[in-house]
């Protein structure tokens, strides 16, 4: 199976590396040339944080979209802020109708990809895997968990070869017919964790060491739940706040994707996480002051980081 990973940071390299080790033809696409060159010369080193073991994987890599476009499946792992640009870029060079899958954070990516590639060719997914980018060609695998996929406007039987490939690579994967509930269930977790880690500079596990931060997490999750319930979304775990706290503990050493954005001075995905709650709340006439405040803080720091890089 020919699989291209579009956006090969921590998560993209994790999936791409292990899919390659399972015998599939994998091409990693990324604009970070040093990362691409390192993968092609030395492979991807994946360190398992739970055991300290390190292993080298050998997918191919490129910074040329045309070289990554010839694939049966495109798995999108770029930052949500780049989804629209990348979807148009690849639509111009792909041949046929590859299956295009988003495993990105937040809500809104699936809609962007549907508009570009068509609903019958677009799948949304949720994964509980966690990874941190440790430098060119180096990834830390910080957390395991299941992955779910669904073609909301098409035939889920098209997913069977990819699901088999992912399971072969060690990623427990299955079809979930109502992926929207899972997307929002993961969104609730990201809402409770990511912005706070970015603003405080703390790893996930440290958030639950401070009662003040736990209270802010409680407010963030409570507001998001009110919005989800008003939209008729069913959250898949019985106690969302306890789940958020538990995720912090289980991924204690993980630097969230938003904190990694701040580390690099790149734009965060706040518009697809906390600010998505703010937008949906506005449509419903619901007040979400804590999410609104944190989103404003993160967006202000995003702009500050861009000024520093200019």
CATH of the domain at 267: 1.10.1040.10
Over residues 132-144, the pLDDT tens digits come to 899 999 999 987 8
Which of 156, 177, 198 is at the close of a domain? 177
Pair 58, 204 in one domain: no
Pair 21, 109 in one domain: yes
What percent of the chain lies above the pLDDT cut of 70?
Answer: 100
Pair 80, 110 in one domain: yes
What value does the mean pLDDT take over residues 28-43?
98
Residues 6+ apart with CB under 8 A from 74: 4, 6, 68, 90, 94, 98, 99, 100, 101
Residue 130 has a pLDDT of 85
Pair 162, 244 in one domain: no
Pair 163, 14 in one domain: yes
Q: Is the pLDDT of residue 234 over 90?
A: yes
Q: Is the pLDDT of residue 145 over 90?
A: no
Pair 192, 304 in one domain: yes
Q: What is the number of structural domains in the chain? A: 2
Pair 162, 226 in one domain: no
Domain with 235, as residue range(s), is: 180-309
Residues 40/61, Cβ–Cβ less than 8 Å: yes
What percent of the chain lies above the pLDDT cut of 90?
Answer: 90
Pair 138, 184 in one domain: no
Pair 78, 161 in one domain: yes
Residue 166 has a pLDDT of 98
84-to-99, 116, 210 alpha-carbon distances in Å:
17, 8, 38
Q: What is the mean pLDDT of the chain?
A: 95
Q: Is the pLDDT of residue 250 over 90?
A: no
Banded pLDDT at 12 (limits 50, 70, 90): very high
Pair 173, 213 in one domain: no
Residue 49 has a pLDDT of 84
The domain that holds 56 is classified in CATH as 3.40.50.720
Pair 153, 260 in one domain: no
Which of 137, 157, 177 is at the close of a domain? 177
Banded pLDDT at 237 (limits 50, 70, 90): very high
Q: How far is CA 141 from the centre of its chain?
A: 14
Pair 217, 159 in one domain: no
Which of 155, 177, 199 is at the close of a domain? 177
Instruction: Just list the catalytic residues.
Output: 186
Over residues 90-106, the pLDDT tens digits come to 999 998 899 999 999 99
Over residues 155-185, the pLDDT tens digits come to 999 999 999 999 999 999 999 988 999 999 9
- C-alpha neighbours within 13 Å on the C-beta side of residue 63: 9
């Amino acid at each position: 199976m020919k699989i291209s990973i579009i956006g090969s940071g921590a998560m993209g390299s994790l999936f791409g590396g292990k899919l390659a080790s399972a015998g599939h033809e994998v091409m990693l696409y990324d604009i970070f040339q040093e990362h691409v060159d390192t993968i092609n010369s030395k492979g991807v080193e994946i360190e398992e944080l739970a055991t300290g073991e390190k292993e080298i994987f050998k997918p191919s890599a490129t910074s040329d979209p045309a070289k990554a476009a010839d694939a049966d499946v495109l798995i999108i792992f770029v930052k949500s802020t780049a989804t629209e640009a990348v979807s148009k870029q690849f639509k111009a060079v792909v041949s046929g109708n590859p299956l295009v899958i988003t495993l990105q954070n937040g809500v809104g990516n699936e809609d962007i990809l549907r508009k570009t590639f068509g609903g019958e060719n677009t799948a949304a997914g949720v994964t509980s895997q966690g990874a941190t980018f440790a430098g060119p060609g180096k990834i830390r695998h910080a957390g395991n968990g299941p992955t779910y996929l669904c073609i909301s406007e098409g035939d889920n039987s098209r997913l069977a070869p990819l699901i088999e490939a992912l399971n072969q690579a060690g990623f427990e994967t299955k079809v979930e017919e109502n992926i929207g509930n899972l997307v929002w269930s993961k969104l609730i977790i990201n809402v409770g964790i990511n912005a706070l880690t970015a603003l405080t500079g703390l790893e996930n596990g440290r958030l639950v060491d401070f009662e003040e931060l736990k209270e802010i997490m409680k407010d963030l999750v409570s507001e998001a739940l009110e919005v989800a319930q008003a939209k008729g979304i069913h959250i898949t775990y019985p106690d969302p706040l306890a789940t958020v706290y538990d995720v912090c503990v289980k991924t204690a050493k993980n630097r969230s994707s938003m904190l990694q954005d701040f580390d690099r001075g790149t734009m965060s995905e706040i518009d697809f996480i906390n600010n998505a709650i703010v937008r949906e709340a506005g449509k419903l006439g619901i007040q979400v002051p804590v999410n609104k405040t944190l989103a404003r803080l993160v967006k202000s720091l995003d702009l500050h980081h861009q000024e520093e890089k200019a």
